[in-house]
């Protein structure tokens, strides 16, 4: 199936494990079935990996539970730190290989894939450092008669479900703190992009992670395979990155065992530009916030609210910038915009744009799909977008920038907050007081001020409202994998 691909691509694909990782062993699924992984730039099959049955997932949970009951939960923090540090170094050393693999299965340009590899590695490094710093505290009881001790202990076996859009970084962002805390894991990567996670598992294995601590199950039917393990009493935590619709169902399932949950769900990020902003800087920030990952990111700017006096200038410059971006397969030199992940996502983006245009929006650039193989949509800027347009309410997940003008600061904030989501917002202004004032009033978990990217391994990533529960990254991220135990110590 890969005979016509360049030798470098064939070698990278051949190096990836294609089986399930359960209890330290790579094995086929119980039913012997496989699932197809396609290149979204061509629609061609590039690999087949094991397609797990529900029993495989239960076996993986059993392996995680056994490792948890064994030595791992009481392993030395420095041991866990050293494993993560070795994995970090290996990921950095293999950047080119991992970036090519990611581009082949997900579609983003190679430069962006390399940036994601660095981002993924940064979580391994950060939590290598955090592993030895999970401190409790000691205090004197208020009566003076005893001591109050608090201990930090690992939550237990975790079920981690990762998305297709950042297949390496989202895995590292969950695995890093789980390993640092002393938890064991069952990881279920997205059906569309399992290869990056399988390769990360191999790297962690080579870095010395004991068998059973990390188990990886690939499956075409996530719901039927994962529901039994979510409802199993051996599971103690669930972490999911994906859509709000799926997240709600998983929260319902997790209630049966009262699991600790972390949910990083959908977004509808506003990008607000005030009239005192540097328009050229705002346009560059808009390109980063909109076009990172081909727009297929929960942090992608979904709605552009621009002060009326500069709205036309901003729109024209953004359209010029986006229309000049080179579209094509992510493996080609100079490509800035790759394909969308699959035909379903391409259809959705096309429908959202058509709906907006039918309701009165005007196309400044783009507005069409590309004929031929692959799932390509031309970078698009829309102006005069009416409030009834679906793309103002729904997550676009594609290279489309709808622009609306506003009058007052209050009007801008009201428009930005007019959504059920609250993951991230972006704002551009030269006024520091306004930046702080607006940041505090925006109903989001994160705010980017005069910058189009907020992702940072040392900072807490997460949202409010229907964008999720909990935080990933930073010192806060490891707390999601730790329980606090209070010990009352009498001294009399």
Pull the structure tokens for residue 169. Answer: 């970084």
β-bridge pairing 185-188 and 158-161: parallel
Q: Are residues 419 and 275 in the same domain?
A: yes
Q: What is the pLDDT of residues 368-413, one digit of tens each?
A: 999 999 999 999 999 999 999 999 999 999 999 999 999 999 999 9
Q: Are residues 210 and 285 in the same domain?
A: no
Q: Are residues 396 and 288 in the same domain?
A: yes
Residue 56 domain-assigned (yes or no): yes
Backbone angles phi, psi at 322, to 5 degrees: -75, -35
> In the chain, how many domains are there?
2
Our measurement of the distance from residue 95's CA atom to the centroid of its chain's CA atoms, rounded to an integer in Å, reads: 19
Residue 2 domain-assigned (yes or no): no
Q: Are residues 153 and 236 in the same domain?
A: yes
pLDDT of residue 171: 98
Residue 287 domain-assigned (yes or no): yes
Single pTM value for the model: 0.96
Q: How many CB atoms lie within 10 A of CB 446?
A: 25
Residue 462 domain-assigned (yes or no): no
Q: Are residues 302 and 189 in the same domain?
A: no
Q: Give 131's strand partners.
A: none
- In sequence order, which residues have a C-beta less than 8 Å from that of residue 254 and are 6 or more positions away? 230, 238, 261
Residues 117, 90 contacting (CB under 8 angstroms): no
Q: Are residues 122 and 197 in the same domain?
A: yes
Q: Are residues 85 and 152 in the same domain?
A: yes
Residues 77, 203 contacting (CB under 8 angstroms): no
Pull the structure tokens for residue 6. Answer: 């360049």
pLDDT of residue 392: 97
DSSP 327: B
pLDDT of residue 4: 80
**Of the candidates 272, 287, 268, the residue with the CA atom closest to the CA atom of residue 112:** 287
Residue 471 vs residues 173, 243, 250, 265: alpha-carbon distances, Å? 10, 16, 17, 11
Q: Of all helices (H) and strands (E), which one includes residue 355? A: helix 343-358
Residue 325 domain-assigned (yes or no): yes
Q: Where are the alpha helices (DSSP H) in 156-258?
A: 169-181, 195-206, 222-230, 244-254
Q: Are residues 408 and 474 in the same domain?
A: no
> Looking up tokens 């059920």, which residue turns up?
420
103/99 Cα distance (integer angstroms): 6
220/239 Cα distance (integer angstroms): 19
175/167 Cα distance (integer angstroms): 12
Residue 422 domain-assigned (yes or no): yes
Q: Which residues of the chain have pLDDT under 50?
A: none
Q: Are residues 260 and 319 in the same domain?
A: no
Residues 198, 57 contacting (CB under 8 angstroms): no
252/237 Cα distance (integer angstroms): 14
pLDDT of residue 5: 87
Q: Kindly tell me the sign of the dihedral angle through the C-alpha atoms of 90, 92, 97, 101.
A: positive
Q: What is the pLDDT of residues 451-490, one digit of tens each?
A: 999 999 999 999 999 999 999 999 999 999 999 999 999 9
Residue 370 domain-assigned (yes or no): yes
pLDDT of residue 217: 98
Residue 475 domain-assigned (yes or no): yes
Q: Are residues 291 and 161 in the same domain?
A: no
Q: Of all helices (H) and strands (E), which one includes residue 332? A: none
pLDDT of residue 1: 60
For the chain, the residue count is 492
Q: Are residues 277 and 257 in the same domain?
A: no
The residues annotated as belonging to the active site are: 264, 298
**Of the candidates 402, 404, 403, 445, the residue with the CA atom closest to the CA atom of residue 425:** 445
- Whichever domain contains 414, its CATH number is 3.40.309.10
Q: Are residues 74 and 20 in the same domain?
A: yes
Pull the structure tokens for residue 492. Answer: 């009399």
- Whichever domain contains 116, its CATH number is 3.40.605.10
* Domain of 186, in residue numbers: 7-265+467-486
């Amino acid at each position: 199936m890969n005979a016509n691909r360049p030798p470098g691509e064939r070698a990278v694909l051949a190096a990836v494990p294609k089986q399930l990782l359960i209890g330290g062993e790579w094995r086929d699924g119980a039913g012997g079935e496989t699932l197809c992984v396609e290149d979204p730039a061509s629609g061609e099959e590039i690999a087949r990996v094991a397609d797990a049955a529900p029993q495989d997932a239960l076996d993986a949970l059993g392996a995680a539970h056994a490792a948890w009951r064994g030595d791992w939960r009481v392993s030395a923090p420095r041991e866990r730190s050293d494993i993560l540090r070795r994995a970090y170094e290996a990921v950095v050393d293999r950047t080119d290989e991992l970036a090519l693999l990611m581009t082949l299965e997900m579609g983003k340009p190679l430069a962006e894939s390399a940036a994601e590899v660095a981002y993924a590695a940064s979580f391994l490094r950060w939590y290598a450092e955090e592993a030895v710093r999970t401190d409790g505290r000691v205090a004197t009881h208020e009566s003076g008669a005893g001591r109050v001790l608090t201990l930090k202990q690992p939550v237990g076996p975790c079920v981690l479900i990762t998305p297709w859009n950042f297949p390496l970084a989202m895995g590292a962002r969950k695995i890093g703190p789980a390993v640092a805390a002393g938890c064991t894991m069952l990881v279920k990567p997205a059906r569309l992009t399992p290869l990056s996670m399988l390769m990360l598992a191999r790297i962690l294995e080579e870095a010395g992670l004991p068998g059973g601590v990390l188990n990886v199950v690939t499956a075409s039917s996530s719901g039927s395979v994962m529901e039994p393990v979510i409802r199993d009493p051996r599971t103690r935590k669930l972490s999911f990155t994906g859509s709000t619709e799926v997240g709600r169902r998983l929260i319902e399932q997790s209630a049966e065992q009262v699991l600790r949950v972390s949910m990083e769900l959908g977004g509808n990020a506003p990008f607000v530009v005030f009239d005192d902003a540097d328009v050229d800087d705002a346009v560059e920030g808009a390109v980063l916030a909109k076009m990172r990952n081909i727009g297929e990111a929960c942090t992608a700017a979904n709605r552009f609210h621009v002060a009326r006096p500069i709205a036309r200038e901003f729109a024209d410059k953004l359209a010029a910038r986006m229309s000049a971006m080179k579209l094509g397969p992510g493996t080609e030199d100079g490509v800035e915009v790759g394909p969308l992940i699959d035909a379903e996502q391409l259809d959705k983006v096309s429908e959202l744009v058509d709906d907006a245009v039918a309701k009165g929006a005007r196309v400044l650039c783009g507005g069409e799909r590309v004929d031929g193989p692959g799932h390509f949509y031309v970078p698009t800027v829309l102006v005069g977008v009416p409030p009834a347009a679906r793309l103002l309410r729904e997550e676009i997940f594609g290279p489309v920038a709808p622009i609306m003008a506003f009058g007052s600061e209050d009007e801008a904030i009201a428009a930005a907050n007019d959504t059920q989501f609250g993951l991230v917002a972006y704002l551009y202004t030269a006024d520091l007081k306004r930046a702080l004032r607006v940041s505090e009033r925006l109903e989001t978990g994160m705010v980017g001020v005069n910058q189009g990217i907020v992702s940072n391994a040392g900072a807490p990533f997460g949202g409010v409202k229907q964008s999720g529960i909990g935080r990933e990254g930073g010192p806060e991220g490891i707390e999601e994998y730790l329980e606090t135990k209070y010990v009352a110590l009498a001294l009399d």
